[in-house]
Chains A and B, each alone.
Chain A
Amino acid sequence: MIDSILKEYAVTSLENVAIWFKAAPVSKFPKNGGACVKYKEKQIAVFNFTRQGEWYACQNLCPHKMEMVLSRGMIGEDMGSPKVACPLHKNTFSLKNGENLNGSLDAIATYPVKIENGFVYIGFSE
């Protein structure tokens, strides 16, 4: 079951975006924090880096214990690069490429985000 959930999530680069999903108004996302977006069967963690004026999205599923929790993690940066720390065991993942920064867990899938007319859009390939 978990394996099939994990397969739902694949890195999506800007070139591969087929659908820009209109998720929610910007105001629904906490400043310098995250929230979870539902897209079909997927759960996507979206982070609002207000300080840098950047947005990032990744799977909500932490690959360590397969729980849907990453959106509730703390965000920060590691040598200038954005990351999220899982609230369960503080495993940290790069929000640029999904890499596990403090261990050797599998990388998480990341998705492109854009903001238009006060709305947050997440890019999916399907």
Chain B
Amino acid sequence: MFVISKQVRMKTIIVVGNGMVGYKFCEKFVAKAGSENYKLIVFGEEPRPAYDRVHLSAFFENQDAKALEMAPAAWYAEHHIELVIDERVSEIHRSTKKITTAKDREFSYDYLVLATGSSAFVPPIKGVEKEGVFVYRTIEDLEGMLAYAAKLKEKNPNARAAVLGGGLLGLEAGRAVMDMGLEPHIVEFAPKLMPRQLDSRSSQVLQLKLESIGLNIHLSKATNQILGDNAIVGLEFGEDDVLDVEMLVISAGIRPRDELGKTCDLKMGVRGGIIVDNKMRTSDENIYAIGEIALYNQMIYGLVAPGYEMANVAADQILGFTETVMAAEIDMSTKLKLIGVDVASFGEPFMPASKGHSIIFENKTQYLYKRINVSLDGKSLLGGILVGDAADYSMLHQIYLNSMPIPTDASKLILPVSEGGVSFGSVMDLPDGAVICSCEAVTKGQVCCSVKDEGNETVKAIAKETKATTGCGGCKPMVDDLVKETLKSLGKIVKEMLCEHFDYSRQELYDIVKMKNVQDFDDLLDTHGKGNGCEVCKPVAASIFASIYNETANKQDTIQDSNDRYLANIQRNGTYSVVPRVAGGEISPKQMIAMGRIAQKYDLYTKITGGQRIDMFGAKLHELPLIWEELIAEGFETGQAYGKSLRTVKSCVGSTWCRYGMDESVSFAIEIENRYKGIRSPHKFKGGVSGCIRECAEARGKDFGFIAVDGGWNVYICGNGGANPKHAVLLAEKIDKGTAITYVDRFLMYYIQTAQPLMRTATWLDKLEGGIDYVKDVVINDCLGIVDQLDIEMQFMVDTYKCEWKEAVESPEIRAKYTHFVNSEDADENIEFVSLRDQKMPTPWV
């Protein structure tokens, strides 16, 4: 008897280069079936594992190289990958399938994957060897620049530095230089910035924006030589054309690091790069090349997304999944944030007039530029450029990639919605093959399947499963929409969960607090939530406690929204505004004088608000209790302008003075404002009372409104002004005042108990099944049998009102929080005002 043991020999793959693409190859490879039969050895010449070069300028923020790592060294070990860093591969011996390293060690391979990337191209300018001249490519380059910049600044705090090259990387380098505290100058040979991606006009918009934040830009400059004895002192462009700089960063393009290919006689491109086929295979069938050394379609692709795709193709090919090949055409669309400015281009950004028409929207005052190129028949989108605001990029890019139909008036694709533009297209209209995440090549179909079949119902779960959104993150909003829409299509109610700490909707939480008599936030978290809360659930809980127990914002002050915590509205420069209640807008001369005196004493800016009261701005934190103490002494109380609660009830002068008035609208407005004052709700709410149908109080633009008519009052609910104006709709007509109040009492309590957080009454009504007829059924016909309860609850709110500012000024403990510093009596010296029409205002934001 024989036992035949069949042993598969482990094959060895050597990856040369541990950059982003080399790393991605490892990551993709080990995740695939069959990879356990291969041994991976990775060589990197840098002293650290692969890091995210795309976000290199982030290194300046924290100088934390670890934060940029693609994966820690331990990751390689966990996946049985041998990682050799700080050791360059120096030679390939194709006949014996071996490589030699710079440390003279030899390794055998079955497959070789070349991912050596590129190096900075240094143009042959006289003087490039001088001290103070750098390239911008690796963390070591940056460290060198940092050290040099620090030295320069010691001698001259206003030292200047230039960046040679106004392309993508050059501008990133410009930011790095600016962050180092040097005066930044960008020098570009072409007559515009980012010549490869932008047309002249968008380039000008970008230039204006960059200049506004302090970059000096020099275009059409050919550098003749670098001046200086040992160290650089300037750049010479031509006779008498010199720029004095003490440091230079060269960012004039990249050159593939293809020396290894050359020396072992692989087929090379005329201007460099190792030629590969659509399997990413070089002229040697055992050697693959990926990333910025691979010459595919006679092109070097300097973007991350195609590099990652190449890594995936090579991994599949080696493992025998030979049907995976590189697409014939590679999409070079990109979107990025450059020094805080959105810049994107897709498809054909520049287009000859013979191929189609361009639609251009430009607004230099806001540094905005949008251009789309449309086919001659106006039916398809061919490409475009966005500068300043690239929010539309994802959708436009998808429309382009999938040849989706576009509106007859294509300008709607880029016009602001308020100018007749439309938010066009639903993510669900995309074909399943549409690539949503181009960094990780994840399609719409994959995302939807992950939701449907694997039960990944959040963006975070999708990211873990498919890696979508984990690259640049630009596709997050789209993935979010896809998840929601897919869940909806499955008939699943997208459960309105408050946040990661509570698996309940606001309404459910309201019922829990009420039924179980929960008294504070900690208790609520411990019994019905998890973790420690956040800025979403805390204010919601605060609002619920207030609506049920009518407790003021002083009781649990740290769970209040930021304005409620200090009982004032925070303004631009961190000062606050003060708004006493002026019910119905009725104010006596004596009250006006008192308010004026106090405003003058504390040097406050005053203005009449839209709600018929007076707003006093510019109060420093420590002044708030002092101001309120005086206001309260004059008989004022808080106007709750800071709260999600009743703001004002606006009135016209009504039958007391007006010759058309049908009833006393001011008296009614004062009564109703005092009735509902202090009641906290899911969002702010406002009222109005008009004395006749001329409607001077604009009551139908409010959450509740009363209009006097022949025979009583008409009651309207659920209107608002603001971003989406809505007229209030009729709840009941020609009823007496008492009944009108009862109906609105019930409507408000019902809204407070059932609305989602931060939902105004108009949206609430929109989403309420049955709409206004259902509200009538509840509050008039009592179809739910709850009106007695609603009446009792509202009466409790009315009976237990107290002015929370009075409570605050009378309590030394509460007053204690009104200091800027906990360890000093000093005021915040950073608060600055400038004068404005005999008053003052905060120094404007830059």
Interface residues of A (CB under 8 A from B): 2, 5, 7, 11, 23-24, 28-33, 35-38, 43, 46, 49, 51-52, 65-69, 72-80, 83, 85, 87-88, 90, 92, 97-98, 104, 106-107
Contact = CB atoms under 8 A, between A and B. Distances in A.
Contact of B531 (A30, A67, A80): A80
Given A37-B822, A69-B570, A74-B562, A90 B535 contact: yes
Contacts of A74: 534-535, 538-539, 558-559, 561-562, 565
Interface stretch (B125-133, B610-618, B656-664, B823-831): B823-831
Size class of B's contact patch? Answer: 35 or more
Nearest to A86: B562
12 contacts: A5-B830, A30-B557, A30-B817, A33-B557, A33-B565, A43-B830, A51-B522, A69-B574, A74-B559, A74-B565, A76-B534, A92-B535
Nearest to B560: A74
- Chain A interface mostly: mixed
Interface string B59-97: 001100001000000000000000000000000000000
Interface string B472-509: 00000000000000000000000000001100000000
A29 B817 CA distance: 9
A9 to B, nearest CB: 12
B337 interface: yes
A48 to B, nearest CB: 9
Contacts of B574: 67-69, 72, 88
- 4 interchain residue pairs of minimum CB distance: A76-B534, A87-B562, A33-B558, A85-B535
A72 B539 CA distance: 14
Contacts of A31: 558
B821 interface: yes
Contact of B823 (A24, A77, A80, A97): A24
Contacts of A97: 62, 67
Nearest to A46: B822
B68 to A, nearest CB: 13
Nearest to B178: A3
A76 B562 CA distance: 13
A72 B817 CA distance: 10
A77 B8 CA distance: 50
Given A36-B822, A38-B826, A77 B531 contact: yes
B445 interface: no
B826 A88 contact: no
B195 interface: no
Contacts of B559: 32, 74
Given A51-B532, A68-B574, A29 B500 contact: no
A79 B500 contact: yes
A81 B816 CA distance: 29
B820 interface: yes
A88 B558 contact: no
Given A43-B828, A51-B522, A72-B570, A37 B821 contact: yes
Nearest to B828: A68
A109 to B, nearest CB: 9
B378 interface: no
A77 B501 CA distance: 9
Nearest to A51: B532
A2 B573 CA distance: 13
Interface centre among B62, B557, B561 (most CB of A within 10 A): B62
B337 A36 contact: no
